[in-house]
Structure 1
Amino acid sequence: MTRALSTQPVIASGSLAGSSQPVLAAAGGLLLRPWEEGDVPGFLSAYRDEEIRRWHTRRPLTEAQVREWFEDHRRDWRREKGGHWAVTRDGGEMLGRIALRGLDLDDGVADVAYWVLPAARGAGVASGAVAALTTWALHEIGFHRLELDHSTRNTASCGVAMKSGYLLEGTRRSAAVHDDGRHDMHLHARIRSD
Protein backbone atom coordinates (compact mmCIF):
# COMPACT_ATOMS: atom_id res chain seq x y z
CA MET A 1 0.00 0.00 0.00
CA THR A 2 1.32 3.42 -0.96
CA ARG A 3 0.86 6.13 1.61
CA ALA A 4 0.50 9.79 0.78
CA LEU A 5 2.96 12.21 2.34
CA SER A 6 2.25 15.85 3.06
CA THR A 7 5.98 16.58 2.62
CA GLN A 8 8.53 15.56 0.03
CA PRO A 9 10.75 12.59 0.97
CA VAL A 10 14.18 13.63 2.23
CA ILE A 11 15.74 11.05 -0.13
CA ALA A 12 13.99 10.07 -3.36
CA SER A 13 13.02 6.43 -3.74
CA GLY A 14 15.47 4.70 -6.07
CA SER A 15 18.43 6.86 -5.00
CA LEU A 16 20.23 3.84 -3.55
CA ALA A 17 18.80 0.88 -5.46
CA GLY A 18 19.48 2.64 -8.75
CA SER A 19 23.20 2.02 -8.34
CA SER A 20 25.56 -0.60 -6.97
CA GLN A 21 26.43 -0.50 -3.30
CA PRO A 22 29.53 1.72 -3.09
CA VAL A 23 32.98 0.97 -1.76
CA LEU A 24 33.90 3.66 0.77
CA ALA A 25 37.43 4.74 1.66
CA ALA A 26 38.22 5.57 5.29
CA ALA A 27 41.25 6.99 7.07
CA GLY A 28 44.20 4.75 7.81
CA GLY A 29 43.92 2.63 4.67
CA LEU A 30 40.50 1.26 5.61
CA LEU A 31 38.07 0.29 2.89
CA LEU A 32 34.40 -0.49 3.41
CA ARG A 33 33.17 -2.90 0.74
CA PRO A 34 30.16 -5.14 0.25
CA TRP A 35 30.51 -8.65 1.67
CA GLU A 36 32.02 -11.32 -0.60
CA GLU A 37 31.98 -15.12 -0.65
CA GLY A 38 35.56 -15.20 0.65
CA ASP A 39 34.41 -13.39 3.82
CA VAL A 40 32.10 -16.22 4.91
CA PRO A 41 34.54 -18.13 7.19
CA GLY A 42 35.84 -14.95 8.84
CA PHE A 43 32.35 -13.57 9.39
CA LEU A 44 31.25 -16.82 11.06
CA SER A 45 34.42 -16.92 13.16
CA ALA A 46 33.82 -13.36 14.38
CA TYR A 47 30.68 -14.48 16.20
CA ARG A 48 32.79 -16.85 18.30
CA ASP A 49 34.50 -13.85 19.90
CA GLU A 50 33.21 -13.25 23.44
CA GLU A 51 32.88 -9.47 23.05
CA ILE A 52 30.96 -9.69 19.78
CA ARG A 53 28.70 -12.35 21.28
CA ARG A 54 28.12 -10.21 24.37
CA TRP A 55 26.63 -7.33 22.37
CA HIS A 56 25.07 -9.17 19.39
CA THR A 57 22.42 -11.76 20.16
CA ARG A 58 21.54 -12.49 16.52
CA ARG A 59 24.34 -14.80 15.36
CA PRO A 60 24.95 -17.12 12.42
CA LEU A 61 25.72 -20.73 13.35
CA THR A 62 26.89 -22.11 10.00
CA GLU A 63 28.53 -20.92 6.81
CA ALA A 64 25.23 -21.59 5.03
CA GLN A 65 23.54 -19.11 7.38
CA VAL A 66 26.25 -16.53 6.69
CA ARG A 67 25.60 -16.90 2.95
CA GLU A 68 21.87 -16.35 3.65
CA TRP A 69 22.75 -13.22 5.64
CA PHE A 70 24.90 -11.94 2.77
CA GLU A 71 22.00 -12.51 0.36
CA ASP A 72 19.72 -10.65 2.80
CA HIS A 73 22.28 -7.82 2.80
CA ARG A 74 22.15 -7.60 -1.01
CA ARG A 75 18.35 -7.69 -0.88
CA ASP A 76 18.35 -4.90 1.74
CA TRP A 77 20.29 -2.70 -0.69
CA ARG A 78 17.97 -3.44 -3.62
CA ARG A 79 14.93 -2.70 -1.42
CA GLU A 80 16.56 0.40 0.09
CA LYS A 81 16.27 -1.03 3.60
CA GLY A 82 19.96 -1.12 4.50
CA GLY A 83 23.59 -1.30 3.50
CA HIS A 84 26.11 -3.75 4.95
CA TRP A 85 29.88 -3.53 4.52
CA ALA A 86 33.00 -5.47 5.48
CA VAL A 87 35.54 -3.15 7.10
CA THR A 88 38.86 -4.12 5.53
CA ARG A 89 42.47 -3.09 5.28
CA ASP A 90 42.79 -1.92 1.65
CA GLY A 91 39.95 -4.22 0.55
CA GLY A 92 41.67 -7.40 1.75
CA GLU A 93 41.95 -8.41 5.41
CA MET A 94 38.57 -8.23 7.16
CA LEU A 95 38.73 -6.17 10.35
CA GLY A 96 35.05 -5.76 11.14
CA ARG A 97 31.56 -4.98 9.95
CA ILE A 98 29.49 -1.84 9.63
CA ALA A 99 25.89 -1.40 8.58
CA LEU A 100 23.34 1.28 7.89
CA ARG A 101 19.99 -0.23 8.87
CA GLY A 102 16.36 0.71 9.21
CA LEU A 103 16.53 3.22 6.38
CA ASP A 104 13.63 5.66 6.35
CA LEU A 105 14.05 7.62 3.13
CA ASP A 106 10.93 9.70 3.77
CA ASP A 107 12.29 11.15 7.02
CA GLY A 108 15.99 10.75 6.13
CA VAL A 109 16.81 8.66 9.21
CA ALA A 110 18.87 5.45 9.59
CA ASP A 111 20.73 3.42 12.25
CA VAL A 112 24.46 2.63 12.35
CA ALA A 113 25.73 -0.71 13.72
CA TYR A 114 29.21 -2.23 13.81
CA TRP A 115 31.63 -4.67 15.37
CA VAL A 116 35.41 -5.02 15.14
CA LEU A 117 37.56 -8.14 15.41
CA PRO A 118 39.80 -8.43 18.49
CA ALA A 119 43.05 -7.84 16.59
CA ALA A 120 41.71 -4.51 15.23
CA ARG A 121 40.37 -3.08 18.50
CA GLY A 122 41.88 0.08 19.95
CA ALA A 123 43.40 1.11 16.61
CA GLY A 124 40.69 3.50 15.40
CA VAL A 125 39.12 0.96 13.05
CA ALA A 126 35.57 1.32 14.39
CA SER A 127 35.66 5.12 14.59
CA GLY A 128 37.28 5.34 11.14
CA ALA A 129 34.59 3.15 9.61
CA VAL A 130 31.81 5.06 11.40
CA ALA A 131 33.26 8.38 10.20
CA ALA A 132 33.44 7.24 6.56
CA LEU A 133 29.92 5.79 6.58
CA THR A 134 28.56 8.89 8.32
CA THR A 135 30.11 11.29 5.81
CA TRP A 136 28.75 9.27 2.88
CA ALA A 137 25.25 8.87 4.36
CA LEU A 138 24.79 12.47 5.51
CA HIS A 139 26.62 14.41 2.83
CA GLU A 140 26.51 12.27 -0.31
CA ILE A 141 23.19 10.47 0.04
CA GLY A 142 21.42 13.17 2.04
CA PHE A 143 20.24 11.50 5.22
CA HIS A 144 19.29 14.07 7.84
CA ARG A 145 19.86 12.00 11.00
CA LEU A 146 21.85 8.88 11.88
CA GLU A 147 21.31 7.04 15.16
CA LEU A 148 23.64 4.69 16.98
CA ASP A 149 22.65 2.77 20.11
CA HIS A 150 24.52 0.44 22.43
CA SER A 151 24.18 -1.10 25.86
CA THR A 152 25.05 1.32 28.65
CA ARG A 153 27.51 -1.38 29.78
CA ASN A 154 29.39 -1.24 26.46
CA THR A 155 31.87 1.52 27.27
CA ALA A 156 34.02 0.81 24.19
CA SER A 157 31.08 1.41 21.86
CA CYS A 158 30.18 4.57 23.75
CA GLY A 159 33.72 5.81 23.16
CA VAL A 160 33.48 5.07 19.42
CA ALA A 161 30.17 6.93 19.18
CA MET A 162 31.51 9.99 21.00
CA LYS A 163 34.80 10.01 19.05
CA SER A 164 32.75 9.85 15.83
CA GLY A 165 30.72 12.91 16.79
CA TYR A 166 27.53 11.08 17.77
CA LEU A 167 26.09 13.07 20.66
CA LEU A 168 24.60 11.17 23.57
CA GLU A 169 20.90 12.01 23.59
CA GLY A 170 19.75 9.84 26.45
CA THR A 171 19.12 6.40 27.86
CA ARG A 172 16.39 4.08 26.63
CA ARG A 173 15.51 2.06 29.72
CA SER A 174 15.41 -1.75 29.40
CA ALA A 175 15.35 -1.39 25.60
CA ALA A 176 17.25 -4.49 24.45
CA VAL A 177 17.70 -8.12 25.41
CA HIS A 178 21.21 -9.54 25.70
CA ASP A 179 22.30 -13.02 26.80
CA ASP A 180 22.45 -11.86 30.42
CA GLY A 181 19.05 -10.13 30.39
CA ARG A 182 17.62 -6.73 29.54
CA HIS A 183 19.94 -3.76 29.10
CA ASP A 184 19.42 -0.02 29.16
CA MET A 185 20.63 1.46 25.88
CA HIS A 186 22.40 4.73 25.18
CA LEU A 187 21.05 6.59 22.15
CA HIS A 188 23.57 8.68 20.20
CA ALA A 189 22.87 10.65 17.02
CA ARG A 190 24.47 12.81 14.34
CA ILE A 191 22.52 15.21 12.18
CA ARG A 192 23.63 16.71 8.90
CA SER A 193 24.29 20.13 10.43
CA ASP A 194 26.56 18.82 13.25
Structure 2
Amino acid sequence: MTANLSTPPAIPAGTLPAGTLAAAPQPRLPAPGGLLLRPWAAADATVFLAAYRDPEIGHWHTRQPASADQVREWFDRYGADWAREKGAHWAVTGGGGEVLGRIALRGIDLDDGVAVCAYWVLQAARGAGVASRALTAVSAWALGGAGFHRLELDHSTRNRASCRVAAKAGFLLEGVKRSAAVHSDGRHDMHLHARVRDDGPPA
Protein backbone atom coordinates (compact mmCIF):
# COMPACT_ATOMS: atom_id res chain seq x y z
CA MET A 1 0.00 0.00 0.00
CA THR A 2 1.32 3.43 -0.92
CA ALA A 3 1.67 5.81 2.02
CA ASN A 4 -0.43 8.95 1.93
CA LEU A 5 2.28 11.62 1.84
CA SER A 6 -0.26 14.38 2.40
CA THR A 7 -1.02 13.12 5.92
CA PRO A 8 1.27 14.73 8.51
CA PRO A 9 3.08 12.36 10.85
CA ALA A 10 1.64 11.89 14.32
CA ILE A 11 3.16 14.14 16.97
CA PRO A 12 4.99 12.01 19.57
CA ALA A 13 3.73 12.21 23.14
CA GLY A 14 5.56 14.88 25.11
CA THR A 15 6.38 16.93 22.02
CA LEU A 16 4.91 20.43 21.91
CA PRO A 17 3.94 21.98 18.56
CA ALA A 18 5.21 25.51 18.00
CA GLY A 19 2.74 28.04 19.35
CA THR A 20 1.51 25.82 22.17
CA LEU A 21 2.78 28.10 24.95
CA ALA A 22 2.63 31.51 23.29
CA ALA A 23 -1.01 31.04 22.31
CA ALA A 24 -1.98 32.15 25.83
CA PRO A 25 -0.52 34.47 28.47
CA GLN A 26 1.97 32.96 30.91
CA PRO A 27 -0.19 31.32 33.61
CA ARG A 28 -0.45 32.21 37.28
CA LEU A 29 0.05 28.99 39.23
CA PRO A 30 -1.18 28.33 42.78
CA ALA A 31 1.03 26.21 45.01
CA PRO A 32 0.36 24.55 48.37
CA GLY A 33 0.48 26.68 51.49
CA GLY A 34 -1.06 29.75 49.88
CA LEU A 35 1.78 30.39 47.43
CA LEU A 36 1.13 31.98 44.05
CA LEU A 37 3.52 31.90 41.10
CA ARG A 38 3.02 34.90 38.82
CA PRO A 39 5.00 36.66 36.09
CA TRP A 40 7.45 39.29 37.30
CA ALA A 41 6.27 42.93 37.36
CA ALA A 42 8.32 46.13 37.14
CA ALA A 43 7.46 46.88 40.78
CA ASP A 44 9.41 43.74 41.81
CA ALA A 45 12.73 45.16 40.60
CA THR A 46 13.92 46.34 44.03
CA VAL A 47 13.34 43.05 45.83
CA PHE A 48 14.79 41.10 42.89
CA LEU A 49 17.95 43.21 42.95
CA ALA A 50 18.26 42.83 46.74
CA ALA A 51 18.04 39.04 46.39
CA TYR A 52 21.27 38.97 44.40
CA ARG A 53 23.00 40.96 47.14
CA ASP A 54 22.39 38.03 49.48
CA PRO A 55 25.73 36.15 49.74
CA GLU A 56 23.98 32.76 49.55
CA ILE A 57 22.21 33.56 46.27
CA GLY A 58 25.20 35.47 44.93
CA HIS A 59 27.49 32.50 45.56
CA TRP A 60 25.50 30.19 43.28
CA HIS A 61 24.66 32.79 40.60
CA THR A 62 27.60 34.44 38.90
CA ARG A 63 25.34 36.41 36.52
CA GLN A 64 23.86 39.18 38.62
CA PRO A 65 21.99 42.43 37.85
CA ALA A 66 23.82 45.67 38.59
CA SER A 67 20.83 47.97 39.04
CA ALA A 68 17.06 48.10 39.24
CA ASP A 69 17.00 49.37 35.66
CA GLN A 70 18.90 46.29 34.54
CA VAL A 71 16.47 44.09 36.47
CA ARG A 72 13.58 45.64 34.53
CA GLU A 73 15.48 44.86 31.32
CA TRP A 74 15.71 41.27 32.50
CA PHE A 75 11.95 41.28 33.14
CA ASP A 76 11.38 42.51 29.59
CA ARG A 77 13.48 39.62 28.31
CA TYR A 78 11.50 37.23 30.49
CA GLY A 79 8.34 38.36 28.72
CA ALA A 80 10.06 37.92 25.37
CA ASP A 81 11.18 34.42 26.39
CA TRP A 82 7.56 33.41 26.86
CA ALA A 83 6.51 34.95 23.55
CA ARG A 84 9.35 33.08 21.78
CA GLU A 85 8.63 29.90 23.77
CA LYS A 86 12.17 29.79 25.14
CA GLY A 87 11.49 30.27 28.85
CA ALA A 88 8.98 30.97 31.61
CA HIS A 89 9.88 33.00 34.70
CA TRP A 90 7.76 33.42 37.83
CA ALA A 91 7.92 35.36 41.08
CA VAL A 92 7.00 33.08 43.97
CA THR A 93 4.71 35.09 46.26
CA GLY A 94 3.13 34.54 49.65
CA GLY A 95 -0.43 35.01 50.83
CA GLY A 96 0.03 38.75 51.17
CA GLY A 97 1.48 39.11 47.69
CA GLU A 98 5.05 39.50 48.98
CA VAL A 99 7.86 38.07 46.83
CA LEU A 100 9.49 35.04 48.46
CA GLY A 101 11.58 33.70 45.61
CA ARG A 102 11.97 32.89 41.95
CA ILE A 103 11.32 29.84 39.80
CA ALA A 104 11.84 29.44 36.07
CA LEU A 105 11.80 27.06 33.16
CA ARG A 106 14.73 27.78 30.89
CA GLY A 107 16.13 26.28 27.71
CA ILE A 108 12.71 25.13 26.56
CA ASP A 109 12.95 22.62 23.71
CA LEU A 110 9.49 22.08 22.23
CA ASP A 111 10.69 19.41 19.80
CA ASP A 112 11.86 17.17 22.64
CA GLY A 113 9.38 18.39 25.25
CA VAL A 114 12.19 19.28 27.67
CA ALA A 115 12.87 22.28 29.93
CA VAL A 116 15.35 23.12 32.70
CA CYS A 117 14.20 24.34 36.13
CA ALA A 118 15.93 27.01 38.22
CA TYR A 119 14.98 28.59 41.55
CA TRP A 120 16.07 30.62 44.54
CA VAL A 121 14.37 31.74 47.75
CA LEU A 122 14.90 34.90 49.78
CA GLN A 123 16.69 34.42 53.08
CA ALA A 124 13.65 35.30 55.20
CA ALA A 125 11.56 32.57 53.51
CA ARG A 126 14.06 29.70 53.66
CA GLY A 127 13.38 26.55 55.61
CA ALA A 128 9.62 26.66 55.05
CA GLY A 129 9.44 24.50 51.92
CA VAL A 130 8.84 27.43 49.57
CA ALA A 131 11.20 26.19 46.83
CA SER A 132 9.97 22.58 46.87
CA ARG A 133 6.30 23.64 46.81
CA ALA A 134 6.92 26.06 43.94
CA LEU A 135 8.91 23.45 42.02
CA THR A 136 6.17 20.88 42.55
CA ALA A 137 3.55 23.31 41.22
CA VAL A 138 5.59 24.21 38.13
CA SER A 139 6.28 20.53 37.47
CA ALA A 140 2.61 19.58 37.75
CA TRP A 141 1.70 22.29 35.24
CA ALA A 142 4.58 21.57 32.84
CA LEU A 143 4.25 17.77 32.83
CA GLY A 144 0.46 17.98 32.90
CA GLY A 145 -1.57 20.47 30.92
CA ALA A 146 1.40 22.18 29.28
CA GLY A 147 2.49 18.89 27.73
CA PHE A 148 6.21 18.62 28.52
CA HIS A 149 7.74 15.16 28.83
CA ARG A 150 10.89 15.82 30.88
CA LEU A 151 12.13 18.49 33.28
CA GLU A 152 15.74 18.78 34.38
CA LEU A 153 17.60 20.75 37.02
CA ASP A 154 21.20 20.86 38.13
CA HIS A 155 23.00 22.27 41.15
CA SER A 156 26.44 22.12 42.66
CA THR A 157 27.24 18.87 44.41
CA ARG A 158 28.06 21.11 47.41
CA ASN A 159 24.60 22.72 47.44
CA ARG A 160 22.82 20.32 49.79
CA ALA A 161 19.79 22.57 50.24
CA SER A 162 19.05 22.55 46.52
CA CYS A 163 19.48 18.78 46.45
CA ARG A 164 16.82 18.44 49.16
CA VAL A 165 14.45 20.69 47.18
CA ALA A 166 14.87 18.54 44.07
CA ALA A 167 14.25 15.31 45.98
CA LYS A 168 11.13 16.65 47.73
CA ALA A 169 9.68 17.70 44.37
CA GLY A 170 10.20 14.23 42.88
CA PHE A 171 13.31 14.93 40.78
CA LEU A 172 15.49 11.83 40.68
CA LEU A 173 19.26 12.13 40.83
CA GLU A 174 20.64 10.87 37.51
CA GLY A 175 24.35 11.54 37.84
CA VAL A 176 27.18 14.05 38.15
CA LYS A 177 28.31 16.50 35.48
CA ARG A 178 31.98 17.05 36.15
CA SER A 179 33.31 20.61 36.39
CA ALA A 180 30.17 21.83 34.64
CA ALA A 181 29.47 25.24 36.19
CA VAL A 182 31.25 28.26 37.63
CA HIS A 183 30.27 29.68 41.02
CA SER A 184 31.86 32.43 43.07
CA ASP A 185 34.68 30.15 44.27
CA GLY A 186 35.43 28.49 40.94
CA ARG A 187 34.25 25.44 39.01
CA HIS A 188 31.91 22.90 40.57
CA ASP A 189 30.72 19.42 39.74
CA MET A 190 26.95 19.44 39.27
CA HIS A 191 24.25 16.99 40.25
CA LEU A 192 21.77 16.35 37.44
CA HIS A 193 18.19 15.66 38.53
CA ALA A 194 15.18 15.01 36.30
CA ARG A 195 11.51 14.25 36.45
CA VAL A 196 9.55 12.77 33.56
CA ARG A 197 5.82 12.56 33.00
CA ASP A 198 5.71 8.83 33.73
CA ASP A 199 7.18 9.37 37.22
CA GLY A 200 3.83 10.55 38.58
CA PRO A 201 3.48 12.94 41.51
CA PRO A 202 6.22 13.16 44.16
CA ALA A 203 5.84 11.02 47.25
The normalised TM-score by structure 1 is: 0.95
**Is 1:90 paired with 2:108?**
no
- Asked if the contact 1:25/1:32 (under 8 Å) is kept, the reply is yes
Partner of 2:143: 138
Question: 1:1-194 alignment to 2 at 5 Å?
Answer: 8=11, 10-90=15-95, 92-194=97-199
The normalised TM-score by structure 2 is: 0.91
Provide the C-alpha distance between the structure 2 equivalents of 1:89 and 1:180, rounded to a whole number of angstroms: 32
Which letter does structure 2 place at the counterpart of 1:174?
A: S
Moved over 2 A (4+): 6-9
Give the unaligned 5+ runs of structure 1: 1-5
Deviation of 1:7 (Å)? 7.2
Identity of aligned residues (%): 67
Give the unaligned 5+ runs of structure 2: 1-8
- Asked if the contact 1:31/1:91 (under 8 Å) is kept, the reply is no
Deviation of 1:90 (Å)? 3.1
Provide the C-alpha distance between the structure 2 equivalents of 1:63 and 1:7, rounded to a whole number of angstroms: 47
Q: CA RMSD in A?
A: 1.4
Partner of 1:3: none
Q: Any idea what the Cα deviations from partners look like across 1:71-112, whole Å, max 9, x if unmatched? A: 000000000000000000136100000000000000000000
Provide the C-alpha distance between the structure 2 equivalents of 1:90 and 1:148, rounded to a whole number of angstroms: 27
Question: Number of paired residues?
Answer: 190
